[in-house]
C-alpha cells in the first residue's frame, strides 16, 4: 500500500464494477470523473488526519441508538432509483449547504457527473420522503461486491431525525441485500469533526497506509459501549 504523501488524483470516465471495488479498497474516492485520495485535510488553521472507512457487512449489527433512529423514522418512505438531478434535489441541496461555514459547495455538479447514473460507474439515489416531501438523499455507487456513498444531502430542519445515520442504515441494508461484502461511507478524520457520526457503527474498518485495513472502534461510540 502506497501512502499518499501529497494529494493524488486522476480522471476516469468509465469504471467497471470490479475496478470500483479495487479503487475503494485502495482508498480512492471520486466526485464526478475525478478520483482522488489524500492523507491530510485542512480546515481553518487545523490539520486533520484522513481515515478512509468501510463497514464489513457480514459482521455489522445495529446498536440500540441506531434502532431508535429507525423507529423515529418509521413513517418515512424510502425510494431507490437511478440517480438524476432535478429542481427538487437542487432545492434540497441549497438547504443542506447552509450547514457549512467554509468551502461551501456550489452545486450537486461538484459531486456528480453530467450522466450521474452511469458515469463513471453505476450510481443509485436513495431518497427519503416524509409524506410527499423529499427530506434526504444519498448518492450510492454500486460495484460488484461493495457500494460507496458519494455524497448525501438532507433538510437541516429535519436534523432531529438523525438523517445522516438513517441514510447510512438504508445504504447498509441495501448493500447487504445485494450480497455485497463492504459499504464505504466515505472519509472521516481521526480527530473530532462533524463526520464523527460515520465512526459510530459496528464492524467498522479504516485504511492504514502502512498496514492495510484495520478494525476501528470509536471509544465514544454506542458500538464501543455495547460491545
Q: What is the pLDDT of residue 100?
A: 75
Superfamily of domain 8-226: Gcn5-related N-acetyltransferase (GNAT) (3.40.630.30)
- Which of 2-11, 39-48, 98-107, 190-199 is least confident? 2-11
- pLDDT digits 0-9 by tens, 109-130: 999 999 999 999 999 999 999 9
Domain ranges of the chain: 8-226
pTM of the model: 0.92
pLDDT of residue 5: 58
CA distance 80 to 96: 20
Judge whether residue 225 has pLDDT over 60: no
| Element holding 111 (H helix, E strand) | none
Residue 222 pLDDT > 70: no
The alpha carbon of residue 8 and the mean position of all alpha carbons in its chain are separated, in whole angstroms, by 20
Segments in 98-190 forming alpha helices (H): 163-177
Instruction: Report d(CA 51, CA 195) in Å as an integer.
Output: 10
The Cβ-side half-sphere exposure at 36, using a 13 Å CA radius, reads 16
Q: Is the pLDDT of residue 186 over 90?
A: yes
Amino acid at each position: 500500500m502506497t501512502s499518499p504523501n501529497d494529494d493524488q488524483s486522476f480522471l476516469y470516465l468509465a469504471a467497471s464494477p470490479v475496478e470500483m471495488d479495487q479503487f475503494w479498497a485502495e482508498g480512492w474516492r471520486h466526485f464526478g470523473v475525478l478520483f482522488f485520495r489524500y492523507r491530510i485535510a485542512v480546515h481553518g488553521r487545523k490539520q486533520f488526519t484522513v481515515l478512509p472507512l468501510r463497514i464489513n457487512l457480514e459482521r455489522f449489527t445495529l446498536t440500540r441508538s441506531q434502532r431508535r433512529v429507525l423507529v423515529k423514522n418509521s413513517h418515512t418512505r424510502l425510494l431507490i432509483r437511478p440517480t438524476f438531478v432535478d429542481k427538487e434535489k437542487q432545492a434540497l441541496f441549497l438547504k443542506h449547504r447552509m450547514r457549512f461555514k467554509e468551502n461551501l459547495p456550489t452545486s450537486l455538479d461538484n459531486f456528480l457527473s453530467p450522466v450521474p447514473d452511469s458515469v463513471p460507474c453505476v450510481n443509485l439515489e436513495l431518497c427519503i420522503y416524509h409524506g410527499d416531501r423529499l427530506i434526504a438523499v444519498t448518492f450510492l455507487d454500486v460495484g460488484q461486491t461493495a457500494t460507496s456513498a458519494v455524497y448525501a444531502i438532507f433538510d437541516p430542519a429535519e436534523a432531529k431525525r438523525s438523517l445522516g445515520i438513517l441514510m447510512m442504515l438504508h445504504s447498509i441494508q441495501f448493500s447487504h441485500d445485494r450480497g455485497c461484502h463492504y459499504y464505504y461511507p466515505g472519509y472521516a478524520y481521526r480527530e473530532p469533526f462533524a463526520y464523527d457520526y460515520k465512526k459510530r457503527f459496528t464492524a467498522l474498518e479504516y485504511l492504514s497506509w502502512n498496514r492495510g485495513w484495520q478494525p476501528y472502534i470509536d471509544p465514544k461510540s454506542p458500538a464501543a459501549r455495547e460491545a
